[in-house]
Structure 1
Amino acid sequence: MGRPITDTDRRAVRRHHAAGMSRNDIARKIKRSPSTVSKIAADAGLTFDRAAEVATATAVRKADLDSRRTELAATLHDVAEREIGRMTQPQLYFEWGGSMHSYAERMQPEPTPADRRTMMATAGAALDRSLKLAPPKTDPGEQGRSVIGDLMAGLARDYATRHGGPPSEAEEEPEAAADGQ
């Protein structure tokens, strides 16, 4: 059997708990087992439940990651735009070598087709990764219009099922006919 819990242990647990120490830190500090500290805390009506703190920290971490992901997506878009812009700009080409180890350079009005393909591949990869990091948001108005369109199509199908076909153009609403008279 372990050593009995003393009033000194109880006071130390209350004091360290009030200071915000964790159960395991208190156990190390007072040289008791974590289960003993838990028992003392429970008897004193204290808890080590940090769910609210953990939830807040998790939410903050997610917000930070969302912000970093958005910044990275913007950087990738910048890379794509830069590569696309280079496709029509003058390009410097150089050669180094030969038996005399000579250097030669020439300026061309545009990159070669092979270089343009590479630039396009780089831009495409950057845009693809960017859109995966931060997918475009759908327009809420557009989404609402599609919901209304789906609702109207469903009502038309229901009408056709009940009445054996779509409403004719000549049919008028009863109230509209009464107003016209």
Structure 2
Amino acid sequence: MARPVTNEDRQRVRELHAAGKGRNEIATELERSGRTISAIAKDLGISFARAGEVRAATEIRQADLADRRARFATTLQDIAEREAAKINARYTYFDWGGKDHEFDTYEAPEPTPADKRALMATVATAVDRSLKLVPPTDGDGSGEVGSLLTSLFDRLRERHGDH
């Protein structure tokens, strides 16, 4: 049989509600059902309706996440630009070798075709991911940027072959 609601229960619901606890938290603490807590709250003239607060908090969280995505998209674009600059630049190779496992470096006038392909893949991935995080909007010139990158990659493939 259900346990009757006491004045002590009512007082605890009032106190916990004033402390900012939600209905389910109060129900857990008082070992009562949510329905019982709602009935007590209704009798006391208090409400757990926080839809406005929840909506505002959700909007703030969404705005924060959008800002974080935009900042990370910028980081990815920076990575793409840095790696793209390496495609035709001097390239340092590192090597462990020989019977004594000696470390050595040497500079090449530019990366090998395989390394250029790897750099282009890194650039393409970084740009693609940044565009997924912050999709372009109409009128921002992003179509021109996309065609510029496509043109750049096509010229690089033509110049260095697709080995």
Work out the CA distance in 1 between the residues paired with 2:5 and 2:94: 82
Query: How far, CA to CA, are the matches of 2:61 and 2:49 in structure 1?
Result: 20
**Which AA in structure 2 matches 1:84?**
A
Equivalent in the alignment of 1:92:
92
Aligned length: 140
Within 5 A, what are the aligned runs for 1:6-45? 6-45=6-45
Pair 1:139 & 2:139 matched = yes
- The corresponding residue for 1:66 is 66
Shift of 1:74: 0.6
Greater CA drift, 6-15 or 92-101: 92-101
Q: Does 1:54 align with 2:54?
A: yes
Structure 2: distance between partners of 1:29 and 1:39: 16
Q: CA deviation at 1:100?
A: 6.0
Counterpart residue type for residue 107 of structure 1: E
Tell me the SS of whatever aligns to 1:92. Answer: strand
In structure 2, list runs of 5 or more residues that go unmatched.
Answer: 141-163
Letter in 1 for 2:26: I
Higher relative contact order (CA 8 A, sep 6+): 2
Query: Could you list the per-position Cα deviations for residues 126-153 of structure 1 after superposition, in whole angstroms to 9, with x for gaps in the alignment?
Result: 111111111122228xxxxxxxxxxxxx
How far apart in 2 are the matches of 1:26 and 1:4?
17
TM-score of the pair, normalised by structure 2: 0.72
Distance in 2, Cα, partners of 1:3 & 1:107: 82
CA distance in 2: counterparts of 1:50 and 1:87, whole angstroms: 55
SS in 2 for 1:138: coil
Name which of structure 1's ranges 91-100 and 17-26 shifts more when overlaid on structure 2.
Answer: 91-100
**Cα separation, 1, equivalents of 2:22 and 2:118:** 56
* Counterpart Cα distance in 2 of 1:101 and 1:29: 65
Q: Displacement of 1:78 after TM fit?
A: 0.7
Superposed CA offset, 1:120-175 (max 9, x none): 111011111111111122228xxxxxxxxxxxxxxxxxxxxxxxxxxxxxxxxxxx
The structure with more radius of gyration: 1
1:30 positional shift: 4.3
1:76 corresponds in structure 2 to 76
Give structure 1 stretches of 5+ with no counterpart.
141-181
Cα distance change of structure 1 residues 8 and 103 upon mapping to structure 2, 3 Å threshold: closer
Aligned counterparts of 2:4 and 2:104: Cα–Cα separation in 1? 88
SS at match of 1:69: helix
- Matched with 1:155 is none
